[in-house]
């Protein structure tokens, strides 16, 4: 049994090793890095729009896959549920004021649509 359990990760490690030693790895890694960088830059650009500032603000972020916003007028969990139920938008609430956004799953042209939908959801909850 121990030999089976101890080697459970060997297959996965072998696959990762082979992919990382492939001649295309560096080019593919750079391509994906550039995609994520452009998405992060698009998020930052969109969030400079003054329409959002009365209702939420972004926490500092430098890239990656996620960023968080601080809500100013509505409860984070209520907004999360509302956006999921009404628009099919899935976000993660963190406490009463914070929402985590996974911009890694968005195309660049979807970023503004997402933040407009968040703003719309906030306004709907304010008027409910």
Domains located in the chain, CATH noted: 2-126 (3.90.1150.10)
CA distances from 116 to 12, 21, 56, 89, 121 (A): 40, 42, 12, 12, 9
Residue-wise pLDDT tens digits, 47-57: 999 999 999 99
**63, 65, 66, 67: CA torsion to nearest 10:** 20
DSSP-assigned beta bridge partners for residue 101? 67
**Does the pTM of the predicted model rise above 0.75?**
yes
Task: Look at residue 123 and tell me whether its pLDDT is greater than 80.
Answer: yes
How far is it, in rounded angstroms, from Cα 89 to Cα 85?
A: 8
Give the per-residue pLDDT at 13: 87
Residue-wise pLDDT tens digits, 27-45: 999 999 999 999 999 999 9
Task: Look at residue 1 and tell me whether its pLDDT is greater than 80.
Answer: no
């Amino acid at each position: 049994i121990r030999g089976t359990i101890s080697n459970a990760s060997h297959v996965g490690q072998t696959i990762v090793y082979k992919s990382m030693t492939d001649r295309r790895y560096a080019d593919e890694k750079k391509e994906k890095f550039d995609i994520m960088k452009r998405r992060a830059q698009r998020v930052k650009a969109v969030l400079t729009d003054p329409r959002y500032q009365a209702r939420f603000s972004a926490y500092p972020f430098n890239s990656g896959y996620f960023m968080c916003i601080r809500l100013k007028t509505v409860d984070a969990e209520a907004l999360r549920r509302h956006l999921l139920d009404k628009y099919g938008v899935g976000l993660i609430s963190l406490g009463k004021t914070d929402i985590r956004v996974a911009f890694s799953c968005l195309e660049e042209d979807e970023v503004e649509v997402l933040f407009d939908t968040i703003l719309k959801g906030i306004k709907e909850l304010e008027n409910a």
